Amino acid sequence: MIEINNLVKHYGDKKAVNDISFTVNDDEVLGFLGPNGAGKSTTMNIITGYLSSTSGTVKVNGHDILEEPELAKKDIGYLPELPPLYLDMTVLEYLNFICDLKQVKRSERKEQLAKIIAMVKIVDVADRLIGNLSKGYKQRVGIAQALVGNPSILILDEPTVGLDPNQIIEIRKLIRTLAKDHSVIISSHILSEIQEVCDRVVIINKGRVAAIDTISDLSRRLSGSSKLLLSFKGDAKKGINAVRAIPGVSDCKIRISDQDIHESEVTIQSDLATDVRTSIFYAMSKNNLPILEFRSLDPTLEEIFLSITGS
């Protein structure tokens, strides 16, 4: 369990982290979401003891990271944004070094390493030089490093960044396996990634917590303003008027209107309570405006912030 209270970090006059508080429960996967530069990495670096906060406290399983750093760090496995790999060592040499650093007992070492290597699927590359591995394998070695010493808490900073889609799927699978018996914090700026693996989400923006919620609550709040994209053949104005007439539609705006081929694209904003999609279909058909494309728009992270912060 991690308790974070009123965390502040100044870089000169700039506040990278401004009064963040949240708690991570045991065996929970917490998504840490925010755009680039929102303060995710800084917060994680403070939690793991790499940086000290300007003020505020971090308690890991009851141990303050500043006052009892050794006890607190024992419970944390950390994969920073840039995995801390020695490129001139083989995977096994490297993991053995991490065992030395984390003071894993000699008797347990062999068994533990075998387990970790199997779990993150790096058995075939165990004797290869880290510098010669692909990015996906390097990331896995990074995760293996975090797992050494059986920490109860895993902190993974952007674990899928820069990987190809197949590798991303594999890493996500791995994280889901790990989540069974670890508390996990994952940072990301991709919503879908967080949605897939996390129980709860902390969203931060400009160094502040924008929202803390479970995924289901968050989706419900997000669906408060559902957005649709509609493209059709015909006059844009006519279409907009037809859509606006439908009860429940709060707004309708032109995105693209091409007079030559006579095609238009509009975005529609509707109330939550009513599903306006059937009505729109009939209204368009009545007005003789053939629908070319009709789909709901996934909210972007920006929009989530906008909607959450209400501005």
Partner 1 sequence: MFAVFKREFLSYFRSPVGYVAIALFSFLSGYIFINNFSSGSVNIASEVISMRSFFVVIVPIITMGSFAEDKKRGTEILYYTTPVDLFSVVFGKFLAAFALYMIMFVNIIVHMIVTKSCNGIVGIGDWGSIIVFFFLAALFISIGLLASAITDSQIISAIACFIIIIFIQLISTISALVGNTISAFLAVIGVSSESANSIGTAIVNGMNWLDPFTKTADFRYGVFSVSPLIFCVSFAIVFMFLTFRILEKKRWAKS
Partner 2 sequence: MSSNKKSANKSSGDNRQKYLKLYSVGTVLILLVIVFASNILFENILGKHLTFDLSLSNQNSLTKESSDFIASLPADANFRIVGLMDKPTSLNNSPMRYIVPLLDDYASKSNGRISVEYVNPETYPSILRELDPQNIYDLSSDKFAVCYQGRIITVEPYDCFTYDSSYSQQGYMVPTANAVEYTFTNAIANLASGITAKAYFVTGLQTDESVQLKHVLSSLGMEAEDLPVSNGFAIPDDCDLLILNNPQTDIPEPVEIALGEYIDKGGDFIVVLSFYNNVTESYSRLNNVLNKMNLNVDSYVLRENDPHYALDTTGFASLIHSTDGYKEFASTDSFRASYARPVRAYDNPFSYITTEPVMTTSSTATAVIVDPDNGISEFENENTYNVVMYSTYTGMTNPPQCFVFGTSDFTSDSYLSSYGYNDANVQFIRNCIKKVTGLNEYNNVFVYTKPLDDYSIDSAKVTSTNVSVMTVVFMVVIPLALVIVAVIIYNKRKNL
Catalog residues that contact partner 1 under the rule CB under 8 A: 10-12, 48-52, 69-71, 73-74, 76, 78, 80, 82-89, 93, 97-98, 100-103, 145
Q: Which positions from 11 through 30 interact with partner 2, judged by CB under 8 A?
A: 19
Residue 55 contact among partner 2, partner 1, none, beta carbon within 5 to 8 Å by kind: partner 2
Return the ∠ at Cα 104 (arms to 100 and 107), rounded to 5°: 115
What's CA 244's distance to the chain center, in Å?
36
From partner 1, partner 2, none, which one binds at residue 152 (CB under 5 to 8 Å depending on kind)? none
Task: Give the alpha-carbon dihedral of 157, 162, 167, 172, to 10 degrees.
Answer: 30
Residue 306 partner contact from partner 2, partner 1, none using kind-dependent CB cut-offs of 5 to 8 Å:
none
Contact between 291 and 232 (Cβ < 8 Å): yes
Cα separation, 2 vs 233, in Å, equals 55
Q: What angle do CA 257, 255, 260 make, to 5 degrees?
A: 10
Report if residue 126 touches partner 2, rule: CB under 8 A: no
Q: State how far the Cα of 109 lies from the Cα of 111, in Å rounded to an integer.
A: 6
- Nearer to partner 1 (CB atom), residue 57 or residue 269: 57
The CA-atom distances, in angstroms, between 74 and each of 61, 159, 191 are 10, 21, 30
Rounded Cα distance between 178 and 231, Å, is 44
Instruction: Give yes or no for residue 298 binding partner 2 (CB under 8 A).
Output: no
Name which of 19 and 28 has its Cβ closer to partner 2: 19
Joined together, the tokens standing for residue 9 give 């970090």
With CB under 5 to 8 Å by kind, the binding choice for 11 among partner 2, partner 1, none is partner 1
Position 85 contacts partner 2 (CB under 8 A): no
Kindly state the helix (H) or strand (E) to which residue 94 belongs, with its residue range: helix 91-101
Q: Which one of 53, 139, 145, 205 is in contact with partner 2 (CB under 8 A)? A: 53
Show the 3-state SS of 31-90. Answer: EEECCCCCCHHHHHHHHCCCCCCCEEEEEECCEECCCCHHHHHHCEEEECCCCCCCCCCE
CB of 78 to partner 1, least distance (A): 5
Partner from partner 2, partner 1, none contacting 74, C-beta within 5 to 8 A by type: partner 1
Stretch touching partner 2 by CB under 8 A, among 46-54, 230-238, 249-257, 295-303: 46-54
Q: Which two structure tokens, joined as six digits, stand for 46?
A: 């403070």
Pick the piece of the chain touching partner 2 (CB under 8 A) from 31-39, 48-56, 110-118, 221-229: 48-56
Least Å distance, CB 262 to partner 2, is 56
* Minimum CB–partner distance for residue 15 and partner 2 (Å): 9
Query: Which residues on neighbouring strands pair with residue 20, listed in sequence order?
Result: 7
Residues 6+ apart with CB under 8 A from 301: 33, 35, 189, 191
Annotate each residue in 262-281 with x if it binds partner 2 (CB under 8 A) or - if it does not, as one string: --------------------
- Give whichever of 10 and 189 is closer to partner 2, judged by the CB atom: 10
Between residues 212 and 301, which has the closer beta carbon with respect to partner 2?
Answer: 212
Nearest to partner 1 of 93, 271 (CB atom): 93
The footprint of partner 2 (CB under 8 A) covers: 6, 8, 10, 19, 52-56, 88, 90, 127-129, 132
